[in-house]
Amino acid sequence: MGRVTILDTLLRDGALSEGVSFTPEDKIEILQLLDRLEIPYLEAGWPYQWPEDLEVFERARELDLKGRLVAFGSTRRPETDPDRDPNLRALLKAETDTVHIYGKAWSLHVEKVLRTTLEENLAMVRETVAYLKELGKEVIFTAEHFYDGCRHDRGYSLEVAAAAVEGGADILVLGDSVGASLMHEVAKGIRSVKEAHPDVVVGFHGHNDMGLAVANAIAAVEAGAEHVQGTIGGYGARTGMTDLSTLIPILKLKMGIDVVSDEALRNLTPVTRAIVNKIGVGDLDYHPFVGYKVFAHRTHSHIAAVLSDPETYEPIPPEAVGNERRLLLPGIARASYLESLAQRLGVDLTGDSAANQRIREELLRLEEAGYTYEDAEASLELVLGKLTGRFHPAMTVERLRLFEVIRGKHQPVVEASLRIQLGSHDEYVAAEGTGPVTTLFEVLLGALREVRSELGPLEDYVCGIKLAAVRVRTFYPRGKQELRARVTVTFSDGARTWSTIGISRDLIQATWQALFDGIEYGLYTKAEAEGIEPPLFK
């Protein structure tokens, strides 16, 4: 197969997702993350819809991005000259060499949404593209609702595509804008347009309303499409659109199309996780290729098979996309599994020393209390580190108070106060927030800020640790009749994520344990990476 280019529309299509919003600062940060994937086209915003995007384009021009910045807009309005159209004027203020324009390709939308004639809509497409080409722009034209239009009036949808070509479009994209098409329909549309316009690059833009966006993108490429649009993480209107974090490795590793370099592909997992954590919407647990659980193997038979040959249960090598293999068993105390896992964390438990026996006994005690580490390996590494002397505890809680107060008539506020021993420092701090988890997190970080002089190079690092996710479930420990809460907290420092767990009869205590352990783990491992000798506090 030939060359295929990709356009990421996260900063425009992603903003149409429920619960997602971007500040200009967010967009600049995400642009830099996306550029690590070497995606050729980076759509940075829609100036007419969101005027603040002009600030994004201005700042992005200073970033020296590998990808080409793209501004988004629509065809001119009915009965309006292109040079007088406010949408196009806003688009041109972005000053990008490449522009992405959409126009209606479904007669229903033309007549009932635009409220104009079919002939005028064709002129809108043709004249808008021609106007932008005269200004020296590379023009990507997306025929919105192309496939929906084909199901009702195929001839007119093809006329819209032809009008874009007549105007001089560099890339002609066929949109499955309702996500209602099947693979054979997508392939048929690509072939029809390519046969009619063999010299034009034809692309695909698909939504995921029926869960087929990635499959349809593959069908489009197999039918000859040379351009695909989507978003990292699959964000987009309604149920989202083609997920590039799934499509890119399929194109490269399964179809042999070098859409990105090997090095860029290895950035896929950390970049996707950083973007999802930044957005704060979505769950990567079971996400293909980049998820936390996609290369996790739990049963004896699966683990034995994977250790013999990873191909037995893995579609690709996890390191190819920057992910990692995780070998899980329900019982941490099983000797062979524990030894293998501990060795990966830098602890040799193969001998029968008294120290190793003490470690096994402590892990068995924790397991009987309900501690399993399948989704919180940082907690296990922390336990092993403390038992072996790798980590030296430097923080001791003397007193923690958490309570809810009411301000005014109806405004609830959660307040926390903490007295904590940090090495030789005895600190008392307070914090407030809208919920118990964030308030506990802030009061702990507040204590660390009080001893910033002792943190040295870790001072800025502490301020960059963020909460990424909190999950709660209840269970009965083995042989016990008393319900326990199990809280898993996931943290992010912008470059990596880790998870810790807390278990208690009390939900707040379990949450505090997970938060406390997570901050300790982040500090310990960052100190190791920076070559700072523990303890952190003197």
Q: What is the DSSP letter of 174?
A: E
Nearest to 164 by CA among 82, 104, 95, 228: 104
Two tokens, residue 147: 């496939």
- Cα–Cα distance, 61 to 111 (Å, whole number): 39
**Crossing angle of helices 24-35 and 268-279, rounded to 10°:** 170
pLDDT value at residue 274: 85
Q: What is the pLDDT of residues 93-151, one digit of tens each?
A: 999 999 999 999 988 999 899 899 999 999 999 999 999 999 999 999 999 999 999 99
Mean pLDDT of 304-320: 84
Over residues 475-505, the pLDDT tens digits come to 777 666 788 888 999 998 888 889 999 999 9
Q: Which of 218-232, 343-357, 417-431 is the least confident region?
A: 343-357
Classify residue 204 as exposed, middle or buried by CB count within 10 Å of its CB (0-12, 13-18, 19+). buried
Token pair in block for residue 310: 């990873």
For position 333, what pLDDT does the model report? 47
Calpha distance 391→408 (Å, rounded) = 46
Q: What is the DSSP string of 332-397?
A: TT-HHHHHHHHHHTT----S--HHHHHHHHHHHHHHHTT---TT-HHHHHHHHHHHHTSS---EEE
**Which value, to the nearest 10 degrees, does the dihedral of the CA atoms of residues 67, 71, 76, 82 take?**
-90
The separation between CA 419 and the C-alpha centre of its own chain, rounded to angstroms, equals 37
Shortest CA distance to 244 belongs to which of 43, 16, 26? Answer: 43
User: Looking at residue 388, what is its pLDDT?
Assistant: 81
**Chain mean pLDDT for the chain:** 87
What is the C-alpha to C-alpha distance for residues 490 and 462, in angstroms, rounded to an integer?
15
pLDDT band of residue 394 (cuts 50, 70, 90) is confident
- Give the strand pairing for 98-104 and 138-144: parallel
Work out the percent of the chain whose per-residue pLDDT is above 70.
Answer: 92
The amino acid at 439: T
Q: Is 65 helix (H, G, I), strand (E, B) or coil?
A: coil
Average pLDDT over residues 254-276: 92
CA distance linking residue 241 with residue 216, whole number of Å: 11
Which residues are CB-neighbours of 63 under 8 A, at least 6 positions away?
28, 31, 32, 35
Burial of 27: CB neighbours in 10 Å, binned 0-12, 13-18, 19+: buried
The stretch 1-30 carries a mean pLDDT of 89
Among the listed residues 519, 525, 526, 524, the one whose alpha carbon sits nearest the alpha carbon of residue 535: 524
Distance CA 124, CA 163 (A): 9
User: Under 8 Å CB-to-CB from 41, ≥6 apart: which residues?
Assistant: 5, 6, 7, 8, 67, 68, 70, 98, 100, 140
